[in-house]
Amino acid sequence: MKWMAAAALMLAPVLAWAQTGTCPEFKNPELKWNQRQGDNYTLCYAELPGTLGASTGFGIYLGHRTFKPDKKAKAEKGTVGAQQVQWYTKATPGNARPYSREAMIVVPGAKPKSKLKVYAWIDASSAEQLNQAFTIARQVALN
């Protein structure tokens, strides 16, 4: 029971910005989001430095989408902000960005299983881009 309370306290800031439908802050003020607002979701996307228009970067989806990794997807531990996540290999059309990853963070709400979800993804064509995106993901102020 104590772990549930601790998890709720750690994710409380996530819930706060999630409910407002805005992108979270970055610890590094030089990083900026491209934000797109839908009827019931928010997309936040940060392009990798030097890759403008190459569709590579780190993003967060805030809404009600469910995520289930492919059963064959490789998993690895990582972080978004201070939040521990499980990154899974993300399939891309034609394997155009083979270093892409995706992760899901379930935000606590009024019910034990809140319908509000935070889905994070990385689009990367190389190991270098993947490492850049991991660095950006750690800069999200979720703690």
The pTM (predicted TM-score) of the whole model is: 0.77
pLDDT of residue 96: 77
Range of the domain at 39: 2-138
**Of 74, 142, 73, nearest in space to 105 by CA:** 142
User: Could you identify the residue written with the tokens 């399939």?
Assistant: 91
Q: What is the average pLDDT value for the chain, to the nearest integer? A: 80
Residue 96 belongs to a domain:
yes
Residue 143 belongs to a domain:
no
pLDDT of residue 5: 43
Residue 13 belongs to a domain:
yes
Average pLDDT over residues 82-88: 90
Structural domain count of the chain = 1
The two tokens of residue 29 are 């003020």
Percent of the chain at pLDDT exceeding 90: 41
Residue 122 belongs to a domain:
yes
Residue 57 belongs to a domain:
yes
Residue 66 belongs to a domain:
yes
pLDDT in tens, 36-52: 998 889 999 998 887 65
